[in-house]
């Protein structure tokens, strides 16, 4: 190799090295630019995310501070548990609202339903069969008749509480004749007083003296204001729910009675959440007594 070749070799090597270095530098610059762009993009996104978060927070604060105006208190009683153990009774056990379930003694599912209602968090009362002005059948071992002695009435009321021990009170099933009878209602009231249980007057006759008799005896009591399902028609039940809500708004408190029936269940499933959202409170009857 001569001297010239050697120099040329070095020059060529230098040129290549310079090109290589330049290439590295260029790449590095590109990477830096890319990183800068990405950083900017991330900052923009972060900024947006923070804005959205603060907007959401503002909204939830607004939601929390937007108070629903209180409208009134409703006591909802469902009568006639004990006859059936099916999808309808099960549907009622699915409510998450405080309700009072009245179980009629002397039927196939009386004890079972008392236990189930209590287990699912409902208030349980005895739905006591009582004599009407027309002749009816059923509950022969439990029905309270004006022809019975005080001892017989006492024994029947005691037996009902033995069958449904979860019960904290009582209301009347039918009973247009018995609830007009001072002696019968006094006999009933004396047992309830002994047991510290309450009596809700279902008011199946306008001449009832049940509530008044209980007050005289010192038994906690209240009265039914609206029957929800005397008619099984969906529109009629809805109208009765409206009436119950209006009464609660007007008087502060109103007690409504419905029954373990399919259409009643359907209407209440829809209406209870609506009423709660619009400012009505649902309470057990035990907290609405005088």
| Chain residues that interact with Zn ion, rule: CB under 5 A | 79-80, 173
Minimum CB distance to Zn ion smaller for 102 or for 275: 102
Nearer to Zn ion, 73 or 240 (CB): 240
57 vs 230 by CB, closer to Zn ion: 230
Dihedral angle sign, alpha carbons of residues 176, 181, 186, 187: negative
In the complex, least distance from residue 276 CB atom to Zn ion, rounded to whole angstroms:
26
User: Nearest approach, Cβ of 106 to Zn ion (angstroms)?
Assistant: 12
Q: Which is nearer to Zn ion, 173 or 280 (CB)?
A: 173
Q: Least distance (Å) from Zn ion to the CB of residue 173?
A: 4
CB closer to Zn ion out of 79 and 181? 79
Give the integer Cα–Cα distance in Å for 128 and 122.
18
Q: Nearest distance from residue 71's CB to Zn ion, in Å?
A: 28
C-alpha distances (whole Å) from 44 to each of 30, 107, 269 are 21, 71, 48
Closest approach of Zn ion to the CB of residue 163, in Å: 16
Q: Is 124 left (phi over 0), alpha (psi -120 to 50) or beta?
A: beta
Shortest spacing between CB 152 and Zn ion, in angstroms: 21
Instruction: In angstroms, give the least distance from the CB of 264 to Zn ion.
Output: 13
CB of 275 or CB of 285, closer to Zn ion: 285
Name the residue whose CB lies closest to Zn ion: 173
For Zn ion, give the closer residue by CB, 197 or 261. Answer: 261
- Token pair for 38: 């990405």
Contact, 219 vs 189, CB < 8 A? yes
Using alpha carbons, list the distances in angstroms from residue 172 to 175, 176, 253, 263: 6, 9, 20, 22
């Amino acid at each position: 190799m001569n001297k010239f070749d050697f120099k040329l070799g070095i020059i060529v090597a230098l040129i290549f090295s310079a090109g290589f270095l330049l290439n590295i530098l260029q790449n590095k610059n590109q990477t830096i630019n890319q990183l800068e762009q990405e950083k900017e993009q991330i900052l923009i996104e972060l900024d947006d995310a923070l804005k959205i978060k603060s907007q959401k927070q503002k909204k939830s604060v607004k939601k929390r501070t937007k108070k629903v105006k209180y409208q009134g208190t409703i006591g909802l009683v469902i009568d006639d548990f004990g006859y059936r153990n099916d999808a309808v009774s099960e549907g009622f056990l699915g409510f998450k609202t405080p309700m009072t379930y009245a179980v009629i003694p002397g039927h196939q599912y009386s004890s079972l339903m008392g236990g189930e209602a209590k287990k699912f968090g409902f208030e349980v009362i005895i739905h006591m069969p009582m004599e009407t002005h027309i002749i009816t059948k059923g509950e022969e071992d439990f029905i309270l008749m004006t022809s019975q002695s005080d001892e017989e009435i006492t024994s029947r009321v005691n037996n009902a509480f033995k069958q449904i021990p979860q019960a904290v009170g009582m209301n009347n099933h039918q009973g247009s004749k018995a609830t007009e009878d001072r002696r019968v209602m006094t006999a009933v009231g004396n047992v309830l007083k002994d047991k510290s249980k309450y009596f809700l007057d279902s008011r199946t006759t306008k001449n009832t003296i049940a509530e008044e008799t209980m007050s005289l005896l010192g038994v906690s009591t209240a009265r039914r204001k609206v029957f929800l399902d005397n008619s099984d028609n969906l529109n009629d039940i809805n109208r009765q729910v409206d009436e119950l809500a209006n009464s609660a708004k007007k008087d502060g408190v109103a007690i409504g009675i419905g029954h373990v029936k399919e259409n009643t269940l359907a209407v209440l499933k829809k209406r209870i959440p609506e009423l709660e959202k619009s400012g009505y409170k649902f309470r057990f009857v035990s907290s609405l007594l005088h």
